[in-house]
Chain A
Amino acid sequence: MFSQITLPATLGNLRQFLDFITTCAEKQGFCPKRVSQIELAAEEVLVNIFSYAYSEPGGEVSVTCGSDSARLLIRFEDSGIPFDPLSKEPPDVTADVSERGIGGLGIFLAGKFMDEIHYRREKDRNILTLAAAPKAESEVSL
């Protein structure tokens, strides 16, 4: 079963969006650690949308959450300007502190923690989807 929430795309609504998503993940039986990783990925995607999607206030974001058999699926939709956060160059996470910037780090983390992350532009809407299995792939490689 999928549930949905639609709210204005502002930082003030971040907690409400995240509560909705973590409740959804908990209902699927995901462990607290995995829920926290999902929350982080969702925050990074949402903050990106809040920052870049709309040039004027009033725009909204819809978040749909549910599961297909084993995985949790989360879809973020907005009707802002076309913006593919995945097209950005990933940050150099091996750089030393003096050469370190912070650009792109949020989406990079989201990609690391989620099993899949996709973007598409459809009918004047940005659609970003995350898929998470109960166990993070990153746990295997760390």
Chain B
Amino acid sequence: MELNSRKEGDAVVVSVKGRVDALTAPDFEKYLSEQADKSEKSLVVNMKELYYISSAGLRAVLGATKKLKEKRGDMMLAEVQETVREVFEIAGFNKFLKIFDTEKSALEQI
């Protein structure tokens, strides 16, 4: 798993590559939590090169989403691969986080 981030106005854009499983999820969780703190408002997570996520990864996303809600910010996912997207949808996470086709369209919503 590889993690990067950059500031984009009031938001922070995180990109996650590789796989988030029970082994890598603790690092992902810590990173997302730190970036949620750094962001003035919302977090955009680009998942273009994320090929696998399990419930351990969902826990990390849920934790950061709760944190962002406290400052009225949103968790936004962009460019999510089909298999990963399906995991979010079956878990019902699409109810409280927004999924965008492109990073650009996510940033335009902030």
Contacts and interface: CB of A to CB of B under 8 A. Distances in A.
Interface of A: 11, 14-15, 18, 33, 36-37, 39-40, 43-44, 47, 93-98, 100, 102, 105-106, 108-109, 112-113, 138, 142
Contacts of B52: 36, 39-40
Q: How large is the interface on B (under 10, 10 to 19, 20 to 34, 35 or more residues)?
A: 20 to 34
B96 A105 contact: no
Contacts of A37: 83
B82 to A, nearest CB: 7
28 contacts: A11-B23, A14-B22, A33-B83, A36-B52, A39-B52, A40-B52, A40-B54, A43-B22, A44-B54, A47-B56, A94-B92, A94-B95, A95-B95, A96-B96, A97-B62, A97-B66, A97-B69, A100-B96, A102-B55, A102-B58, A102-B62, A105-B55, A105-B59, A106-B54, A109-B87, A138-B86, A138-B90, A142-B89
A43 B95 contact: no
Interface string B72-96: 0000000000110011011110011
Contacts of A112: 90
Interface of B: 21-23, 51-52, 54-56, 58-59, 62, 65-66, 69, 82-83, 86-87, 89-92, 95-97
A95 B69 CA distance: 15
Nearest to B89: A142
B92 A93 contact: yes
Given A40-B54, A93-B90, A93-B91, A98 B66 contact: yes
